[in-house]
Homo-oligomer: A and B are copies of this chain.
Amino acid sequence: MGLTKYREIANDIRSKILKGIYKKNEQLPFEKELCEKYHASKMTVKKALDLLVAEGLIVKKRGSGTFVKDIQTQEMQRMMLSNQFRGFTATYADRKVSSIVLDFSVISAPERVATYLNIQKDSFVYAIRRVRCVDDQPLVIESMYMPIHVITGLKKEHLEASVYKYIEEDLGLKIQSAHRTIRVRKSTAEEQRHLRMQEHDPVAEVEQVAFLDNGQAFEYSLSVHRYDAFEFKTVILR
């Protein structure tokens, strides 16, 4: 496999935790033992364990050892997901995901979009507006802008499936990170219609700027979530 050694080690230990081979509150083998087991140096093993710390799965106690955190397995699974960059389709991989495309056009970048994407104000961008559904329930209205000179050749069929899949698999680009801001507000009448909500239902608004591994911002999006289907989990360090 093409994975790095420390990722392979992390994956192996993670699956052992999730399978219950390493049980909650139980001590993991010492770093030294893991070094021998995986034929790796201390730095490499430490890097693997640090990934799991960032995911919230384990805790390290200097002078004492490394322990599996005592939270329910289900919690763990969700925790890991939210620290990683995942599109809507990947997040609901085990459910039926569909999209209603409200708008798909090419426009001059509005000021806010141009600013965040770091492109000229009159550059062209794809403007995409979709209602995203899980098991035919509308959960999110997503407005997305991508520069046409970065994400080339986008077609309507990609919108009905997964845009990220097209970017990574067809275009061969690598997504590196995203800056995300979460806000809360009241819903508009139009949102209530699209998401089948009541008049005074609130929404969660997620603003996102996503970057490729070459530093280029390739997406500015604003997603409006039904409040009762929205939950964001994260691990904060230090």
Contact = CB atoms under 8 A, between A and B. Distances in A.
A181 interface: yes
B215 A59 contact: yes
A128 interface: no
A211 B71 CA distance: 12
In the complex, the count of this chain's copies comes to: 2
Interface residues of A, number: 54
Nearest to A177: B237
B234 A234 contact: yes
B43 A233 contact: no
A83 interface: yes
A68 to B, nearest CB: 9
B236 A181 contact: no
Given A59-B213, A177-B238, 16 more contacts: A59-B215, A61-B213, A61-B215, A69-B211, A69-B215, A71-B116, A71-B209, A177-B236, A177-B237, A179-B233, A179-B234, A181-B233, A183-B231, A183-B232, A185-B227, A202-B227
Interface of A: 25, 43, 53, 56, 59, 61-62, 64, 67, 69-71, 75, 79, 83-85, 116, 118, 175-186, 200-204, 209, 211, 213-215, 217, 225, 227-228, 230-238
B211 A184 contact: no
A24 to B, nearest CB: 9
A82 to B, nearest CB: 8
